[in-house]
Structure 1
């Protein structure tokens, strides 16, 4: 894989791991197995049947958990400690054959990007879940985004980079709105 393809895979997989880690890993593993896709660097491990199988089982668990509002909140809280480091590892893994300095930079950026998407997801979910049925619909959309962006990263890395830039921009916008709303709650009247 060339530089652009590696960058697209690193950024794309890191960003969507913050939304749905297991769908991302399963998608990349299955594409590597069946679409004759050569994953860059150390990501070839994702084509292991063990990795694919575990990712698919955990994806099914997440698919169900994500549709139940109370379980969804607990799942997202626990996965804060999994999605962000996994995004960092996926980004660094894409640069597996590069200089350790590049891998370290990819690790740091990948973790930050995964945090932005996971943070936006976790912060928006309470408001989304307040509307009956909305949580399940948004969860399905998140699954589609995860599978779609992982596929884009594999086959159209430049498009994946654009999706990540737009996604990070949306995350920053959401964070600024949430921050403003929270500060408004604690503002003294008058």
Structure 2
């Protein structure tokens, strides 16, 4: 159960930001005892891989906070984030962490299963994020993109920390994100409706 929650948290984090969970697993595996990656995933700890992921993280961090460019970035990330979700779910559920002492007992029937599950989870989160961003950008004419992006990055970091240190918290974080997304969408729709009403009144006048 803990393995499933850990993998879900990591994959959901990848759906928000593809590179945060990747670099977190790589750095923690390389420099700490919190994560012990199995040999099949040890490439995540390679210094060249970490350097490339770091550069991509910076690019993503900037691009996702620029109105209009963030929507283009979401299109590109439709492939990247699910792929990252598959990697971190597979590596995270196979790794020994502070909260998971027997990862080998999880998904013993096939190593491909966790990867597929991670891809699906990350894709669902990514599509929800992209739809939420479009609704918010429409309501705010794009000016809310930086704040939303920062919130998503913080949520991604929170999911990674929960998945590694205390997987049970992943449920709490995900529920919180769902509630927050619901209120943001409802607010965005109301604001968009008010804007349409003002435009209609101005046109009639």
- TM-score w.r.t. structure 2 length? 0.71
The structure with more radius of gyration = 2
Structure 1 vs Structure 2 CA RMSD: 2.8
Paired position in structure 2 for 1:84: 82
Q: Is the 8 A contact 2:29 2:35 kept in 1?
A: yes
Q: Shift of residue 170 of structure 1? A: 5.6
Q: Shift of residue 171 of structure 1? A: 10
Q: Shift of residue 159 of structure 1? A: 1.1
Distance 1:171 1:85 in 2: 26
Dislocated runs of 4+, deviation >6 Å: 171-174
| Structure 2: stretches of 5+ with no match in the other structure | 95-103, 187-205
Q: Is the 8 A contact 1:40 1:95 kept in 2?
A: no
Paired position in structure 1 for 2:58: 60
1:99-118 equivalence runs, <5 A:
101-118=109-126
Equivalent of residue 170 in structure 2, options 146, 152, 160: 160
Q: Is the 8 A contact 2:86 2:117 kept in 1?
A: yes
| Structure 1: stretches of 5+ with no match in the other structure | 178-190
Q: Shift of residue 40 of structure 1? A: 4.6
More helix by share: 1
Distance 1:103 1:163 in 2: 27
Distance 2:171 2:181 in 1: 16
1:171-186 equivalence runs, <5 A:
none
- The aligned length equals 172
Distance 2:107 2:24 in 1: 27
